[in-house]
Amino acid sequence: MADSALDLTLDGPALTAWLVDFPSESGTEKPLADAIEAALRTLPHLTVDRHGNNVVARTHLGRAERVVLAGHIDTVPIADNVPSRLDEKGVLWGCGTSDMKSGVAVQLRIAATVPEPNRDLTFVFYDNEEVAAHLNGLGHVADAHPDWIEGDFAVLLEPSDAQVEGGCQGTLRVILRTEGERAHSARSWMGSNAVHAAAPILARLAAYEPRRPVIDGLEYHEGLNAVRIEGGVANNVIPDACAVTVNYRYAPDRTAEEALAHVREVFADCEIAEFTVDDHSGAALPGLSHPAAAAFMAAVGGTPQPKFGWTDVSRFGALGVPAVNYGPGDALYAHKRDEHVVVDRITHCERRLHAWLTA
Amino acid sequence: MADSALDLTLDGPALTAWLVDFPSESGTEKPLADAIEAALRTLPHLTVDRHGNNVVARTHLGRAERVVLAGHIDTVPIADNVPSRLDEKGVLWGCGTSDMKSGVAVQLRIAATVPEPNRDLTFVFYDNEEVAAHLNGLGHVADAHPDWIEGDFAVLLEPSDAQVEGGCQGTLRVILRTEGERAHSARSWMGSNAVHAAAPILARLAAYEPRRPVIDGLEYHEGLNAVRIEGGVANNVIPDACAVTVNYRYAPDRTAEEALAHVREVFADCEIAEFTVDDHSGAALPGLSHPAAAAFMAAVGGTPQPKFGWTDVSRFGALGVPAVNYGPGDALYAHKRDEHVVVDRITHCERRLHAWLTA
């Protein structure tokens, strides 16, 4: 592990390496949160608050707009890929290089180098993003201190390959159960087959045509899929129960209520004995038409992309704060043994954000 | 446990009680096989052979026909229901009373009391019927000494409530696997859903109209059913595999080959990646048109019933020996804690068989 004092004069790549070499698997973030809090407290233009292992730092310049820059400080378990290693091609390897200590390094660089931003800034460093939703530090802060993370626009520095990814799709998981009546399979007419009763459910799924709505210029792509199916008692028994787990990924022009109503409608005539909502996280609009977002897009350039997966931008969406993903890492390598980041991207992201906030 | 010497002068009910009180769970039949062999060897009109814990005794009178009377000597595990108990209503309670020590008692009574039958007789007492098919003693004898169990007609003294149950349906179990390609469920169009690919399989099953052919006057009733379905990797992954286990119960006018061809045809256009035969036991014709069977029916009376479940009569069928089930027990109580037999039925079955074999 590196020295526990965080040096904010390091450049973005060096800061990323320092953060990677300071392990912070989910649940063990306290030492890193301590180091970040201590470093931020040395910056006179910021007030610093702490809730658990979540650190929030803010400017209070009375600007017309406030922008939130947020990132999680935890990583998935290390897989023999710490300490970090910088190769001769300018690629930094190691756990968290992409997801998302390079993004956290950019946050820290902006905090340290932009004392008088053109928009008020809020920096959020939070824990437990890589584990269960109920542990998520951003969620805890949103519940306990929603005022700490208020803003007009938020940038989550999750890996997006230095491209802007707007909003995120929602995800709804339901379990559809069919019922039957057990009987010996030699006398099947004495019972009723719950697996056969699931035939219309699979037929609806197989025939489903997902929407691809365009929102704020981004084309989303929905999906309605069985992710699990399970039924059966024994090889000679007619099954009396079958469960199909269905995941609906939906575009951010649908509310959570509309998404649920849609799924109920798709399976309305399927004779489902029990319809259970197993998990539901709403979508988030990209919010690219907001003035702060438009200025952000102009500053960072490129063509925004829709975000298909669910991310914490949805938590900002729920608070009424439009949010995008924009970070130097590449999501394709997140959670992998060969996780890495191109160090030029770290510098690139920092420069673009710097330009946006000082123009 | 009772005295280990088997007394063939006991009447049917007393013999049943003696056999029930002599535990012989599957795998532990040797002492009982020893006792049966010793008792049969005292009968001068029989030759006795032994293979493992299977005992075969035969007359050699040069009759025009030979009849086989067969029964298994093992039971399912005892469930606090041994020793046996005879209640005031003439019901004998205990493990094996129905399935099928009452039938074995009838076999032993006929062996002891019919020294000059009108048809040559073969008595088969075998082990391991209640466990895996490959352990079944009748199968072992059929493989090692098929000549020992040759005959024109066979009666299996399995519980049939003193009614004749003809032949048995075959049972074929196949596993139908569909394939897809994994992808994150947020980007489902990057993969291919194996559970959705199983939709046509379930549709065929739900729409299937089973045959009810009449054979030798008995109406059989087929069935084609999913007994298991399983698919899924994780809640956010498009499944790349799904397996549907299908059980086809078929009437004895179909050979094993025809049954398999039929199932292949039902699912012919279902894009099945792998079609596996997991288990297959052929059907057995009732053979009620055979002269020996006709005489048997005339002697025992009643209306024969089709046997829907698979039984060891199929093993005789495979050897070209028509076979029926006819025993004093009631199959509804087999394998149950409250297993029992009405003792009058034991006497009834013995008398009817006696009449048939001495007329």
Q: Which residue has the tokens 């009546």?
A: A181
Task: Name the phi and psi angles at B11, rounded to 5.
Answer: -80, 175
Domain boundaries, chain B: 12-167+284-358, 171-280
**A88-124 residue pLDDT tens:** 999 999 999 999 999 999 999 999 999 999 999 999 9
Composition of chain B by helix, strand, coil, percent to 5: 35, 25, 40
| Statement: residue A68 has pLDDT above 60 | yes
Pairing status of strand A47-51 against strand A54-58: antiparallel
* Residue A359 contacts B, CB cutoff 8 Å: no
Separation in Å, CA A261 to CA A91, A264, B254: 47, 5, 49
Of B235, B309, B310, the CB nearest to A227: B235
Q: Does A186 contact B206 at a Cβ distance shorter than 8 Å?
A: no
Interface test with A, best of B225, B267, B278, B281 (most A CBs within 10 A): B225
With a CB-CB cutoff of 8 Å, which residues 176-205 of chain B face chain A?
A: 184-189, 193, 195-200, 202-203, 205
Give the pLDDT of residue A2.
Answer: 45
Give the pLDDT of residue A3.
Answer: 55
Fold of the CATH domain A171-280: Alpha-Beta Plaits (3.30.70)
> Do residues A243 and A230 make contact, with C-beta atoms less than 8 angstroms apart?
yes
Instruction: Give the C-alpha separation, B33 to B102, whole Å.
Output: 16
Residue numbers of chain B with a pLDDT score lower than 50? 1-2
Q: What is the mean pLDDT of chain A?
A: 94
Give the pLDDT of residue A1.
Answer: 45
Q: In terms of CA atoms, which chain B residue is nearest residue A192?
A: B225
Q: In terms of CA atoms, which chain A residue is nearest residue B238?
A: A227
Residues of chain A with pLDDT > 70, as a percent, come to 99
B74 is catalytic: yes
Separation in Å, CA B249 to CA A62, A145, B168, B172, B263: 79, 65, 10, 6, 11
**A201-243 residue pLDDT tens:** 999 999 999 999 999 889 999 999 999 999 998 888 899 999 9
Instruction: Give the C-alpha separation, B247 to A235, whole Å.
Output: 8
Residues from chain A contacting residue B279 (CB–CB below 8 Å): 235
The arithmetic mean of pLDDT across residues A177-184, rounded, is 93
| Statement: residue A8 has pLDDT above 90 | yes
| Statement: residue A145 has pLDDT above 80 | yes
The reply to whether B12-167+284-358 and B171-280 are identical in fold is no
Q: In terms of CA atoms, which chain B residue is nearest residue A235?
A: B227
- Structure token digits, residue A101: 């200590």
Instruction: Give the C-alpha separation, B98 to B94, whole Å.
Output: 8
Give the pLDDT of residue B277.
Answer: 96
B85 DSSP 8-state letter: E
Instruction: Give the C-alpha separation, A226 to B238, whole Å.
Output: 7
- Nearest-Cα distance to chain A for B177, in Å, is 13
**A287-314 residue pLDDT tens:** 788 888 888 998 898 889 998 888 899 8
State the ipTM, two decimals. 0.79
Arch. (CATH architecture) of A12-167+284-358: 3-Layer(aba) Sandwich (3.40)
The whole-model pTM stands at 0.79
Separation in Å, CA A126 to CA A149, A161, B276: 12, 21, 51
